[in-house]
Amino acid sequence: MTVLQNRYEFVYLFDVTNGNPNGDPDAGNMPRQNFEDQHGIVTDVCIKRKLRNYVDLALGGTPRHDIYVREKAILNEQHQRAYTALEVDAKNFKPTSDPAAAAALTQWMCDTFFDVRTFGAVMTTGVNCGQVRGPLQLTFARSAEPISVQEITVTRMAVTNEKDRESERTMGRKYVVPYALYRLHGYISAPLAERSGFTEADLETVWTALANMFDHDRSASRGEMTARGLKVYRHADRLGSTPAKALLDRVKIGRAPGSTGPARSFDDYVVTWNRDGLPAGVEAIDRF
């Protein structure tokens, strides 16, 4: 296994058609939105969940690809697995008294759980396995333009309670975005990859997941979500020599010629990527 030795940044584009890409439970599950400028938002946590689910679907059950944060997982029980594997008594162990054993417990978690060594984790809850800063960090995704949120009323022939038996139907509501194109930035740190054991193979798994995860995350509420672009910058060394913003700003989203009114498909946009005159030591890779 080759631990990652290069710094990366990337721009990830995806869109939604007639769906809710990331509902806000504090707002009746409406699509998340910046209420100052009406741009749509998809949180980093939402994207990480889809990445985790894809890795679990594609590689679950194989070494180094267990998932730490999964539905209904009890995290202290996940930590206990490390103590059991390394034959450490969790009840009497104090990390400060044996730093080598504490480091071994943390490393076991990194070696076992894909998402720990990728995204990091705070594992100091009760059964202490330390903390890991993950090499892959994601921003919130933001829509290219302000979004329109539509509230749709739906009918249901079945009823929930006995008292409603004679009702002809009951009503429900769902929120959809007719169309929006979202942009997310990602950063991968080689020094943090060295600490967690994040490898070149793990990076390929991330690229594959970003390309395919929406195809295995379908639901009526999410409508049609599609990956539209992954523009990657690879630095020649572990630290790089160019500010990330100068590279990420080279990817521009604009309206296609003749497109007017609200955008309703990816064809309403043109994505341009200026790869001319890149700084020395930076490679531009168009994954899709």
Q: Is the pLDDT of residue 152 over 80?
A: yes
If 0-12 CB within 10 Å is exposed, 13-18 middle and 19+ buried, where does residue 280 land? exposed
**Mean pLDDT across the stretch 161-168?**
72
CA–CA gap between residue 159 and residue 167 (Å, rounded):
8
**Mean pLDDT across the stretch 235-253?**
97
Q: Is the pLDDT of residue 166 over 90?
A: no
pLDDT for residue 163: 77
Q: Is the pLDDT of residue 197 over 70?
A: yes
B/e letters for 251-266, b = 16+ CB within 10 Å, e = fewer, are bebeeeeeeeeebeeb
CA–CA gap between residue 140 and residue 123 (Å, rounded):
24
Cβ contact 121:144 at 8 Å: no
| Structure-model confidence comparison of residues 166 and 184, the more confident one | 184
**Mean pLDDT across the stretch 164-187?**
86
Q: Would the pTM count as exceeding 0.85?
A: yes
> Using 50, 70 and 90 to split pLDDT, how confident is the model at 78?
very high
pLDDT for residue 216: 96
CA–CA gap between residue 283 and residue 281 (Å, rounded):
7
Q: Is the pLDDT of residue 190 over 90?
A: yes
> Using 50, 70 and 90 to split pLDDT, how confident is the model at 126?
confident
| Structure-model confidence comparison of residues 168 and 191, the more confident one | 191
Q: Which of 21-35, 117-131, 159-173, 199-213 has the lowest mean pLDDT?
A: 159-173
Q: Is the pLDDT of residue 167 over 90?
A: no
Please give the C-alpha separations between residue 202 and each of 116, 143, 273, in angstroms, as whole numbers.
12, 28, 26
Mean of all residue pLDDT scores within the chain: 95
**Mean pLDDT across the stretch 90-117?**
95
Q: Is the pLDDT of residue 9 over 80?
A: yes
**Structural domain spans, the chain:** 8-286
Residue showing tokens 């030795």 = 5
pLDDT for residue 168: 64
pLDDT for residue 68: 98
